A and B are shown apart, each in its own frame.
Chain A
Amino acid sequence: MSFTEFVDGPFWYFSAAVFVIGVVWRLVGMLTMGSKPDYSLPRASGTAGAIGINIKRFFPRTDFWSRIKLQVIAGYLFHVGLFALLFFAAPHIDFYRERLLGFGWPAMPEWAFILVSELAFLGLLLLILHRMMNPVTRAISNRGDYIGSALIFLVMLTGCLALARAYEPLRVLHFFLAELLLLYFPFSALMHTFTFPFSRGFMGAHYGRRGVRV
């Protein structure tokens, strides 16, 4: 079996299985730990609080803006860019249609791909530099944070190169790195991709029933 066949075949199935099982295991595990009943008389709806925070938390409060703007802007550049690349880059849509879903959707034009890639790279690099240089993030970051960032950077880099050069070995390398990322994902803080609506929801519900819009 060639490396390409390995990457396109068994390693893909293995990494995808680890990703799915790992994510579900972690989500189910944390959400089934239960909680004690709260007998206090609510002032307002906890459900409304949970929904509200999930929307409002996308927009940072102005009180904090001057102290957090770099991370917020970099974070948006990276996350929006990554989302666009993941779901609207033509090769990815082809992959979803052929290997996963059986259907596709319109892709973004190449100029948009280039623009989005550059913005996503800019955002990611700013976040990595901030993590390394800011005294707070440097103190609280662990090895896993850097591994996750590095893997995403390499996946994005090889993806862009593969598309630009239309060169098969780069495509295989990109796919291999993406599979490593899938393997790493459930064991890392990258899980926030799936946990953030729940953590926001728990906090929003807690404060919501107290009548506080957080």
Chain B
Amino acid sequence: MAIDMNVFRGFAEQIKMLPQMAQPTDCPDNERLKRAKAVFAAKLDSSKATYLESCVHCGLCAEACQFYIQTEDPKFTPIHKLDLLKRFYRREKAPLRFFHRLTEPEITEADLEATQELVYESCTECGRCGLVCPMGIDIAAMVHITREGLAQAGLIPAGLRAVEQEQGSRGTVFGVGPDQIRQAVDDLRAKGHEVPINKEKADILVLSSTIDVLLFKDALEATVKVMNHLGVDWTIHSCAFEGANFGLLSGYEEVQKSASERITSQAIALGAKLVIVPECGHAYPAMRWYGANEHGAPLPFEVMALSEFLGREVISGRLHLKPLGPDRHVTYHDPCKVGRHGGVFDEPRAVLKALGVDLREMPSNKVTNFCCGGGAGLFVMEGAAPMRDAAFDLKRQQVEATGAESVVTACGSCRVNLMAGAQRTQWGTQIESLVELVGANLKQ
């Protein structure tokens, strides 16, 4: 698939500039602790309390974490990242809080700042640690709560904060808004594609993302080709196309809610039965799992990841693909937020099967798949670069163990991180998009 590497390099350079674009936070210094505590108090419910009550400090979670495996630095032990939250819990919410207050020191602003690196720059909330915990502690969920507390305290790392602020204030991401998506649609129309935009009624609302508008244009084009090929009633909407949700990534719930509500209200206005989330890992849970909760009621439409939709169409026999042949050796990288956090494993594999390729699974695959290293916003945090590189090196080993000549995935962030790693290490393995493979091999 043709990706303009100059655009890719420009995108990477833009990411490096993000910290300079971040605005100062609106949180006064003397408010930080209070705001973080208010979030922790509100978010710690029965399940989280049970998790925090159950840890026996066995350290097994470290053995599942890509960052610990690669660095062997105990500070990256997943459960250690929850020390701040656990101290708050023990003093303020635990059933034995009156007893714990005798021994547990109060959390401080310095503790908040010290935790920033642990929950933002060295955790992708991939959730692999939760698979090995004998107690069944969902550490990723509590890392996210810690992020939410730090976000309210104005402690989102500058790069991530810049994009969150942009999406929160202007509704755009990397400058991509209604005008840019219209331009992208015009470009596709100029190539001969019929692209419905801003229809008043449609069965399916198709989302896109900044990364597809700027960089992976072929993914957007392939999506258009598939939808037209299927002959369904669909539309893109210029005011509700952005699947990426930097409120969710940063832990800033107000922005998370405004971003998902923009889509929800538009889908309701369209009378949509289905919202399709693009190849963007976190965009899937943002709508599929959290969209209804931010809305405060069940959604009157289904939400599917693009890879899930393609798989279901293939399985149902509505989507026929030209086989690429068994001499095409590929492996599939499950984006954590779509796979381990979303349950979409079989559908992309059904697509690859329909494409007739020789699918070779990585040693750790599906639910135990290793993260690409760029998830949960790490791909826009400059401070996370060493962690991203470490995770990529592990991922590369996993891919190479299969002997596949290409790694297929269904997430733009994963692609960016894999491409950045490939560029850094002169890695020759192809990195491909599932929808692009489908778009290029539709059977007429």
List residues of A whose CB falls within 8 A of some B CB. 22, 25-26, 28-36, 38-41, 43-44, 53-54, 57, 60-61, 63-64, 67-68, 71, 75, 131, 134-142, 145, 186-187, 189, 191-192, 195-196, 198-204, 206-207, 210-214
Neighbouring A residues of B295 by C-beta, 8 Å: 39
B107 at the A interface (CB under 8 A): no
Cα distance, A68 to B94, chains bound together (Å):
30
Bits for B347-372, please: 1 = Cβ < 8 Å to A, else 0: 00000000000000001100110000
In the complex the two chains form, is A214's CB within 8 Å of B135's CB?
no
Bits for B58-70, please: 1 = Cβ < 8 Å to A, else 0: 1110111000110
The 26 sampled A-B contact pairs (Cβ below 8 Å) are: A25-B96, A29-B95, A30-B53, A31-B49, A33-B44, A33-B46, A38-B292, A40-B299, A57-B134, A61-B368, A64-B63, A64-B132, A64-B368, A140-B57, A187-B99, A195-B50, A195-B135, A199-B50, A199-B135, A202-B138, A203-B51, A203-B130, A206-B138, A210-B342, A212-B341, A214-B130
In the complex the two chains form, is A214's CB within 8 Å of B131's CB?
yes
Q: Which residue of B lies closest to A143 (CB)?
A: B103
Bits for B84-114, please: 1 = Cβ < 8 Å to A, else 0: 0000000001111001000000000000000
In the complex the two chains form, is B74's CB within 8 Å of A30's CB?
no
In the complex the two chains form, is B135's CB within 8 Å of A196's CB?
yes
B45 at the A interface (CB under 8 A): yes
Partner of B60, one of A30, A31, A71: A71
Q: In the complex, identify which listed stretch (B225-233, B237-245, B283-291) lies at the interface while the others stay far away.
A: B283-291
Partner of A212, one of B80, B99, B299, B367: B367
In the complex the two chains form, is A28's CB within 8 Å of B95's CB?
yes
In the complex the two chains form, is B292's CB within 8 Å of A40's CB?
yes
Q: How far is the CB of B272 from chain A (nearest CB, A)?
A: 14
Partner of A40, one of B46, B54, B293: B293
Neighbouring A residues of B293 by C-beta, 8 Å: 36, 38-40
In the complex the two chains form, is B141's CB within 8 Å of A206's CB?
yes
In the complex the two chains form, is B62's CB within 8 Å of A136's CB?
yes
In the complex the two chains form, is A71's CB within 8 Å of B58's CB?
yes
List residues of B whose CB falls within 8 A of some A CB. 44-47, 49-51, 53-60, 62-64, 68-69, 72, 74-75, 77, 79-80, 93-96, 99, 130-132, 134-138, 141, 288-293, 295-299, 302-303, 339-343, 363-364, 367-368
In the complex the two chains form, is A35's CB within 8 Å of B60's CB?
no
Known interface pairs A192-B54, A203-B130; 18 further A-B residue pairs with C-beta atoms within 8 A, sorted by A's residue number: A26-B96, A33-B44, A39-B293, A40-B292, A54-B136, A60-B134, A67-B63, A134-B59, A135-B72, A136-B68, A140-B77, A142-B57, A192-B56, A202-B50, A207-B343, A211-B343, A213-B367, A214-B130
Cα distance, A67 to B68, chains bound together (Å):
12
Of the listed residues B59, B64, B367, the one surrounded by the most CB atoms of chain A closer than 10 A to its CB is B59
Neighbouring A residues of B69 by C-beta, 8 Å: 67
Neighbouring A residues of B135 by C-beta, 8 Å: 192, 195-196, 199-200
Residues A196 and B49 in contact in the complex (CB < 8 Å), given A139-B75, A202-B136, A203-B138: no
In the complex the two chains form, is A40's CB within 8 Å of B288's CB?
yes
In the complex the two chains form, is A68's CB within 8 Å of B340's CB?
no
Partner of B57, one of A141, A186, A201: A141
Of the listed residues A30, A41, A187, A200, the one surrounded by the most CB atoms of chain B closer than 10 A to its CB is A30
Q: How far is the CB of A202 from chain B (nearest CB, A)?
A: 4
Q: How far is the CB of B125 from chain A (nearest CB, A)?
A: 14
In the complex the two chains form, is A29's CB within 8 Å of B54's CB?
no
Neighbouring A residues of B49 by C-beta, 8 Å: 29-31, 33
